[in-house]
Structure 1
Amino acid sequence: MTFDYFYGRESDLFSFVRIPKLLFKEERLKRLSSDSKILYGLLLDRMSLSAKNGWQDDDGRVYIIYTIDEVQDELGCANKKAVNILAELEDIGLIEKKRQGLTKPNLIYVKNFSSEVLKEHFQKCQNDTSGNVELTGQEVSKGRTNNTDNNNTDFSNTDSIPFHSDRIRLYRESPQENGMEGNGNDALQIRKKYQDYVAENISLEILKERYPYQRELIYQLAELMVDVLCSTKDHICVGKEDKPAPIVKAQFMKINSMHIEYVLEGLQKNTTLVRNTRQYLITTLYNAPLTIDAHYDTLFNHDRANGLI
């Protein structure tokens, strides 16, 4: 069998399963088998569908239904191996099963390990700062570094987010304006960790080289992500709706370079008047992981139906 080459942006037309990098970097999780890591990515993908459909228990915890038969089908393995892979994830604490009875499939809670793991990493790098830093929401690891040049600036205008052409202007003069607690040095240290996390997650340097004429906008999106991840508010407004902050932050933690490219493409095509740029961009970033696959699937089907591919 001979496969064709990719042309243009054809590679973007696939649906992807996203597997957290921490599964390969965190010492306690490295020992997981490759099959278990792939299955965790599949379970996370199913989680987004369950959340969209409102599959939650009385405590608001999202659950999924993923049977042994589905594991066998997705991974192409026998029943015994499928059972062992699920057991491996359960033993290490990445999933929790709840039995419904003999005739009903188990409910599966996919556990969010990132907060605890990243918190441990963050605490290890606090030796060079004074006092204890108390964090809220998703924490960020030490290992995410970047060679960007930082500068202080003031973010007082909610309708526009000013950026210098060649600098990521990342710090507010007052940490309290950003919803962060603690003294100024602590707040800046926290913010720097989130900057590095975002820079690596979205491949900031690569995007900068790939889109030199949209550098300011890319920096703007990166800074906005940092703002959201640093927020200590209980709720964050997304599309005129106040959503629980942990849900919004978890969504922003998923954003990678493909999502940023997708957002850039959408912004270029937008011709409507945007009165609150900041709020518009937060909503656009939040929706990117939710809509990117459907967008490119629709685009592919359209082009194929019209004989363009």
Structure 2
Amino acid sequence: MYDYFYGAESEQFSFYRIPKVLFTEERFKNISAEAKVLYGLLLDRMSLSAKNGWQDKENRVYIIFTIEDIMAAMGCADQKAGKLLHELESKCRLIERKRQGLGKPNLIYVKNFVTPLESRFLNRENHDSGEVKITDQEPLKSRSNNTEYNNTEFSDTDSFPFTSFREDHGQETKRSDADQRERYREILSGNISYEILLQDYPLDRDILTEILELMVDTVCTTRSTVRISGDDKPAEVVKSQFLKLDSEHIRFVMDGLKDNTTRIRNMRQYLLATLYNAPLTIGNYYRSLVSHDMSEGFI
């Protein structure tokens, strides 16, 4: 039986961003709902590509999202995945694909459908009298509350306010820190299929428990930064990354621990770095294994 939401607890999940205008503007009416959801998935991947500097010579951000990725994310067959990509590219030009050749995956450019004029005036009022000259030095005196294009559309909804549970919202049902921690433990445990991992790794219960508790510690931290591989990362970014981890990422971390032949001096820092980087490195790791097996004639 599921519980009710209390106070700001509805903000505890990470979300994909699907701009509301895709559902409200006439120019997008002929696009299927599934294609719009896929655009949201691609848009979510864009933020990660931007953070990692995936840009071409013209500073245009691109992503790599294969047919297999779409099949897994959308729960569809390869033919359907290809059809959705074709719809976004040919029917509404919301994406552009660039072939790399040599068996490499296509690059995908997710298009910004907001026109330059719209982009320039999104957060400004319409002035009715006289000609308004806009310069870089002009102060932004007022903001528009046009809900079609304001920050409810383009904010990073993965970075939800974790500290909101600590604020006083006037709710009599305010949770204690212990309750908050337990709730995140339940969420993270479900995300990574913790009980199944315990069954699959019966001799590694301690390390799996350490991984889960480390994830809970990180998500519940009140610090503004988290140190990863010697660098101070914004805590909200790290928390968001950890909430996206699933069982395959944990299996990848476990495989890395088994394959590691050097002494790990600081297990906590090692796990923090490995967990944080898992979504970025897991693909290359398994591709290299496949390439190795092919070269050895196992495939």
The bucket for the TM-score relative to the shorter chain is 0.5 to 0.7
Q: Which residue of 1 aligns with 2:156?
A: 112
Q: 259, 264, 286: which one pairs with 2:249?
A: 259
Q: Any residues of structure 2 matched to 1:67-216 within 5 Å, and which?
A: 75-77=85-87, 81-82=91-92, 99=115, 111-115=155-159, 129-130=173-174, 186-216=176-206
1:302 to 1:100, Cα distance in 2 relative to 1, 3 A: farther
1:80-136 deviations in Å (ceiling 9; x for gaps):
743589xxxxxxxxx9755458xxxxxxx964324559999999xx96744xxxxxx
Q: Which residue of 1 aligns with 2:38?
A: 38
What is the deviation of 1:269? 1.2
Aligned partners of 1:245 and 1:117: how far apart in 2?
11
Structure 2: runs of 5+ lacking an equivalent: 1-12, 24-31, 64-80, 96-110, 118-152
The 3-state SS of whatever aligns with 1:283 is: helix
Kept after mapping to 2: 8 A contact 1:129/1:186: no
Q: Percent identity?
A: 32
Aligned partners of 1:42 and 1:198: how far apart in 2?
24
Aligned partners of 1:118 and 1:48: how far apart in 2?
20
What is the deviation of 1:34? 2.1
Aligned partners of 1:279 and 1:197: how far apart in 2?
23
TM-score (norm 1): 0.55
What is the deviation of 1:206? 1.2
Aligned partners of 2:94 and 2:231: how far apart in 1?
42
CA RMSD in angstroms comes to 4.2
Aligned partners of 2:38 and 2:163: how far apart in 1?
24
Aligned partners of 2:259 and 2:239: how far apart in 1?
27
TM-score (norm 2): 0.56
Q: Quick check: 1:302 aligned with 2:292?
A: yes
Kept after mapping to 2: 8 A contact 1:72/1:79: no
Q: Which residue of 1 aligns with 2:276?
A: 286
1:82 to 1:277, Cα distance in 2 relative to 1, 3 A: same
1:240 to 1:21, Cα distance in 2 relative to 1, 3 A: closer
1:96 to 1:190, Cα distance in 2 relative to 1, 3 A: farther
1:170-191 deviations in Å (ceiling 9; x for gaps):
xxxxxxxxxxxxxxx6111211
Residue 42 of structure 2 aligns to which amino acid in structure 1?
A: L
Kept after mapping to 1: 8 A contact 2:54/2:61: no
1:30-50 deviations in Å (ceiling 9; x for gaps):
x99222222222222333222
Aligned partners of 1:302 and 1:255: how far apart in 2?
26
What is the deviation of 1:260? 0.1
Residue 202 of structure 1 aligns to which amino acid in structure 2?
A: I
Residue 33 of structure 1 aligns to which amino acid in structure 2?
A: A
Deviating above 6 A after TM superposition, structure 1's stretches of 4 or more consecutive aligned residues are 71-74, 117-123
Kept after mapping to 2: 8 A contact 1:72/1:82: no
Aligned partners of 1:78 and 1:257: how far apart in 2?
30
1:52 to 1:82, Cα distance in 2 relative to 1, 3 A: same
Aligned partners of 2:260 and 2:52: how far apart in 1?
26
- The structure number with the bigger radius of gyration is 2
What is the deviation of 1:213? 1.3
What is the deviation of 1:230? 0.6
Aligned partners of 1:279 and 1:84: how far apart in 2?
40
The 3-state SS of whatever aligns with 1:242 is: strand
Q: Which residue of 2 aligns with 1:220?
A: 210
1:289 to 1:79, Cα distance in 2 relative to 1, 3 A: closer
The 3-state SS of whatever aligns with 1:236 is: strand
Kept after mapping to 2: 8 A contact 1:221/1:281: yes
